[in-house]
Amino acid sequence: MKTIADLRKEKNITQAQLAELLGVTKSTVGNWETGIRIPGMLKAIKLASVFGVGIGEIIFLPSKTTKCEQKHEKKQHGNPEPAA
Protein backbone atom coordinates (compact mmCIF):
# COMPACT_ATOMS: atom_id res chain seq x y z
CA MET A 1 0.00 0.00 0.00
CA LYS A 2 1.24 3.47 -0.90
CA THR A 3 0.14 7.06 -0.47
CA ILE A 4 -1.04 9.24 -3.34
CA ALA A 5 2.25 11.17 -3.17
CA ASP A 6 4.29 7.95 -3.30
CA LEU A 7 2.36 6.66 -6.32
CA ARG A 8 2.58 10.02 -8.08
CA LYS A 9 6.35 10.21 -7.57
CA GLU A 10 6.78 6.64 -8.84
CA LYS A 11 4.99 7.67 -12.05
CA ASN A 12 7.27 10.72 -12.19
CA ILE A 13 4.40 13.17 -12.60
CA THR A 14 3.81 16.50 -10.89
CA GLN A 15 0.81 17.48 -8.81
CA ALA A 16 -0.26 19.73 -11.69
CA GLN A 17 -0.07 16.86 -14.18
CA LEU A 18 -2.05 14.55 -11.91
CA ALA A 19 -4.61 17.29 -11.32
CA GLU A 20 -5.08 17.70 -15.07
CA LEU A 21 -5.56 13.95 -15.54
CA LEU A 22 -8.22 13.93 -12.82
CA GLY A 23 -9.96 17.19 -13.70
CA VAL A 24 -9.15 18.87 -10.38
CA THR A 25 -6.83 21.68 -9.28
CA LYS A 26 -3.23 21.29 -8.20
CA SER A 27 -4.22 22.48 -4.73
CA THR A 28 -6.81 19.70 -4.50
CA VAL A 29 -4.10 17.11 -5.19
CA GLY A 30 -1.91 18.82 -2.59
CA ASN A 31 -4.76 18.69 -0.07
CA TRP A 32 -5.20 14.96 -0.71
CA GLU A 33 -1.48 14.33 -0.29
CA THR A 34 -1.29 16.22 3.01
CA GLY A 35 -4.47 14.71 4.41
CA ILE A 36 -6.38 17.99 4.56
CA ARG A 37 -9.03 16.38 2.38
CA ILE A 38 -9.64 12.96 0.90
CA PRO A 39 -10.91 12.29 -2.61
CA GLY A 40 -14.50 11.24 -3.17
CA MET A 41 -15.22 7.73 -4.39
CA LEU A 42 -15.24 8.60 -8.11
CA LYS A 43 -11.92 10.46 -7.89
CA ALA A 44 -10.44 7.63 -5.80
CA ILE A 45 -11.42 5.14 -8.50
CA LYS A 46 -9.91 7.39 -11.15
CA LEU A 47 -6.71 7.74 -9.07
CA ALA A 48 -6.44 3.96 -8.89
CA SER A 49 -6.90 3.75 -12.65
CA VAL A 50 -4.26 6.42 -13.35
CA PHE A 51 -1.77 4.61 -11.11
CA GLY A 52 -2.70 1.13 -12.32
CA VAL A 53 -3.48 -0.15 -8.82
CA GLY A 54 -6.55 -1.33 -6.98
CA ILE A 55 -8.35 1.26 -4.88
CA GLY A 56 -7.52 -0.79 -1.78
CA GLU A 57 -3.81 -0.33 -2.48
CA ILE A 58 -3.92 3.44 -1.96
CA ILE A 59 -3.40 4.93 1.48
CA PHE A 60 -5.53 8.08 1.64
CA LEU A 61 -3.45 9.65 4.40
CA PRO A 62 -0.30 11.76 4.25
CA SER A 63 3.02 9.95 4.48
CA LYS A 64 4.29 12.40 7.10
CA THR A 65 3.18 15.52 8.92
CA THR A 66 4.23 18.72 7.23
CA LYS A 67 5.79 21.65 9.08
CA CYS A 68 2.69 23.72 8.33
CA GLU A 69 0.47 21.09 9.95
CA GLN A 70 2.78 20.91 12.96
CA LYS A 71 2.52 24.68 13.45
CA HIS A 72 -1.26 24.51 13.11
CA GLU A 73 -1.41 21.70 15.67
CA LYS A 74 0.63 23.75 18.16
CA LYS A 75 -1.65 26.77 17.71
CA GLN A 76 -4.80 24.67 18.21
CA HIS A 77 -3.63 22.77 21.26
CA GLY A 78 -1.20 25.29 22.67
CA ASN A 79 2.35 24.59 23.60
CA PRO A 80 2.16 23.65 27.28
CA GLU A 81 5.04 24.62 29.49
CA PRO A 82 6.97 21.72 31.01
CA ALA A 83 6.16 21.00 34.64
CA ALA A 84 8.60 22.58 37.10
The full set of domains in the chain, from first to last, is 2-77 (1.10.260.40)
d(CA 81, CA 39) in angstroms, rounded, equals 38
Give the tens place of pLDDT for each residue, 23-45: 999 999 999 999 999 999 999 99
User: Mean per-residue pLDDT for 56-83?
Assistant: 63
Report pTM: 0.73
Predicted confidence at residue 62, as pLDDT, reads 79
